[in-house]
Amino acid sequence: MHTENDAGGHAGTEAWAGAVEKALDLHRGEPGPLLAVLHDIQDAIGWIPTESHARLAEALSLSKADVYGVVTFYHDFRSSPPGRHVLKLCRAEACQSMGAEALAKRLTAKLGVEFGLTSADGAVTLQPVYCLGNCACSPALMIDGNLIGRVTPERLDRIVADARAAR
Ligand code: FES
């Protein structure tokens, strides 16, 4: 399982440092560019290494606590590398009223991790999302960008099994 403590690791420093500098360059001079910079970094490498916070803070005249606060406030930002597949389960009201909480429990039990983390086999990163715009077909989830509605427990099991089987 990936945890916050896995974030970064000096072995991969060059790989993420390039993405960080590129994102900073792209938004240089813009007012309040932290969110845009973070999105660019995550788009490029899939996560925001904790080790990058100091460089971001320095470049954007912020404190490391400011950067950490923003990264951890938004559910979309990951502080550890994602699994091979990213599954976002909708936990907003319409989906909740159609059984999303039971699906959430099933998922965490099946994957052996809480929301925000990646299963030990590296197959699935589980994330909460608050409305996918698919309320009419709730409960809904998104896997690797594909929206799926009317998710039943059986369908959910199949989705997880397929994700684990796929590379
Ligand atoms: S509440 Fe789940 S898709 Fe809108």
Tokens of 36: 């845009």
With the most atoms of ligand 1 within 8 angstroms of its CB, the residue from 91, 95, 129 to mutate is 95
Asked if residue 132 has its Cβ within 6 Å of ligand 1, the reply is: yes
Tell me, in angstroms, the distance from the centre of ligand 1 to residue 22's CA: 35
DSSP result, 50-91: GGGHHHHHHHTT--HHHHHHHHHHSTT--SS---SEEEEEE-
According to DSSP, the residues that pair with 141 across neighbouring strands are 89, 148
Q: What's the pLDDT at 167?
A: 74
Reading phi first (left if > 0) and then psi (alpha if -120 to 50, else beta), residue 37 is in alpha
pLDDT tens digits, 3-47: 333 433 444 556 789 999 999 999 999 999 999 999 999 999 989
pLDDT along the chain (167 residues), means of 10: 40 76 96 96 93 97 97 88 94 97 97 92 94 97 97 97 91
Probe ligand 1: pick from 134, 147, 150, max atoms within 8 Å of CB? 134
Can you give the pLDDT at residue 73?
Answer: 92
Q: Say if residue 44 is exposed, middle or buried (CB neighbours under 10 Å; 0-12, 13-18, 19+).
A: middle
The confidence score (pLDDT) of residue 10 equals 41
Q: Is 52 in the pocket of ligand 1 (CB under 6 A)?
A: no
Q: Is the CB of 142 under 6 A from ligand 1?
A: no
Q: What are phi and psi of 112, to 5 degrees?
A: 75, 20
3-state SS, residue 148? strand
Q: What is the pLDDT of residue 80?
A: 85
pLDDT at 13: 57
42 CA to middle of ligand 1, Å?
24
Ligand 1 pocket check for 131: Cβ under 6 Å: yes
> Per the structure block, which two tokens stand in for 121?
């086999």
Ligand 1 geometric centre to CA of 116 (Å): 19
Question: Of 74, 164, 70, 165, which is closest to residue 125 (Cα–Cα)?
Answer: 164
Expressed in angstroms and rounded, the spacing between residue 97 Cα and the centre of ligand 1 is 10
pTM: 0.76
